[in-house]
Amino acid sequence: MEYTQAWLLLVHTKGLGSKRISELLNHFKSVETIFSQNSYPSELKLPQKVQELLKKPNHVGIEQDLAWLEKPNNSIITIDNDLYPPLLKQTDSPPPLLYVTGDPYILLQPQLAVVGSRNATPVGLKNTHSFCYDMAKRGLTITSGMALGVDGKAHQAALDAGGKTIAVMGTGLDVVYPAKHKNLAHAIAENGVLISEFPVGTKPNAHNFPKRNRIICGLSLGTLVIEAGVQSGTLITARQTMEINRPVMAIPGSIHSPLAKGCHLLIKQGAKLVESAEEILEELTPLAQSLSLKIQEKLSSLENKTVQTQNKPYIKSDENEHDLLLNCIMYDSTSIDEIISKSGLTTQEVASTLLILELEDKIQALPGAQYIRI
């Protein structure tokens, strides 16, 4: 059985969650081998119904996924793939497979999750655009759920800044929800990435969105909450972030605003009150340094091979971007334009890597978009 087909059949098999899929992969070592068994070891504790489905998989059920994969810009990333996001893989229940529209490499970049009310106030939307624009300019990828209100404004701010953004969908990637974000979804696909754990054709379902939220926070260095009521679903994402020991930050508001009460509650529970991009960067620094090492390992593993995403060759890195940029920065001040010119990388790639180098105390940012090696 072909690799991509095997993976799609596996995630379509009813009764298999991420835990059981992980156990199957650990036991059989390859996804194709799972489907070639006459029987399954008792220690795997697979229900008889699941065993029968694995012995006689439903190939018709993955035809829609396979047709979607034939279209340009679409791919899948499985948990055994070198492009699978390392921070997401650390969580308790990482999705075994991600459907991707856009550039999968963006998933390895340092991310800030931004969540908030679907019915945000004008002030909340203004704060969302200001904070996300600033963070995108500094090289952070903005990750959110493409919902109305704060989510949509966060994605748009990153695009306005010339940065990257990731939309985690609660539907299949062929279904845009809400429908009024159709143009935004196309813009993200061109300048960022859309991802989902749900198969092609999955319609909006209330149960899918809390599951979607765990991916948003799992991908990210931390979560920024902008306006939320005390009964808001936004607080679920904040709690999920706390459960995986990553920082939650909240913007305070008026004591008279119902949409500030959720943020104030989070602050009372230990979230960091933030009023500037600098405070966010300060909070994210420890995990960003750890992520930097993981990304370096990923890039190193990609140097001598071409990564496959759904049997399509992906661009390999010929040189570690961190070392490449560091060699472009002098002990006298060097402008970002000069760094971009010397490195041959895109503005976003340079900004993202400069952020990590700065957090690692290898370079120092100077006024006027200048950098110096330290």
Q: What is the crossing angle of helices 234-243 and 208-219, to 10°? A: 50
pLDDT at 312 over 50: no
pLDDT digits (tens, 9 = 90+) for 49-84: 999 999 999 899 999 999 999 999 999 999 988 889
| Distance of alpha carbon 289 from alpha carbon 306, whole angstroms | 26
10 Å CB burial of residue 1 (0-12, 13-18, 19+) is middle
pLDDT at 311 over 50: no
Q: Do the Cβ atoms of 163 and 188 come closer than 8 Å?
A: no
Can you list the domains of the chain with their CATH numbers?
Answer: 1-70 (no CATH), 102-281 (3.40.50.450), 319-374 (1.10.10.10)
Task: Give the number of C-alpha atoms closer than 13 A to the C-alpha of residue 311, restricted to the C-beta side.
Answer: 9
Inter-residue long-range contacts of 206-213, CB under 8 Å, 24+ positions, other chains counted = 208/170, 208/171, 209/145, 209/170, 209/233, 210/236, 211/170, 212/145, 212/168, 212/169, 212/170, 213/115, 213/145, 213/237, 213/240
Q: Which residues of 123-156 are buried (b: 16+ CB within 10 A; e: fewer)?
A: bbbebbbebbbbbbbbbbbbbbbbbebbbbbbbb
10 Å CB burial of residue 365 (0-12, 13-18, 19+) is middle
pLDDT digits (tens, 9 = 90+) for 239-294: 999 999 999 999 999 999 999 999 999 999 999 999 998 899 888 877 776 676 66
| Distance of alpha carbon 127 from alpha carbon 252, whole angstroms | 11
pLDDT at 232 over 80: yes
Cβ neighbours of residue 273 closer than 8 Å, sequence gap 6 or more:
249, 250, 251, 252, 267
Task: Give the number of C-alpha atoms closer than 13 A to the C-alpha of residue 358, restricted to the C-beta side.
Answer: 21
Q: Is the pTM of this model over 0.85?
A: no
pLDDT digits (tens, 9 = 90+) for 128-165: 999 999 999 988 999 999 999 999 999 999 999 999 99
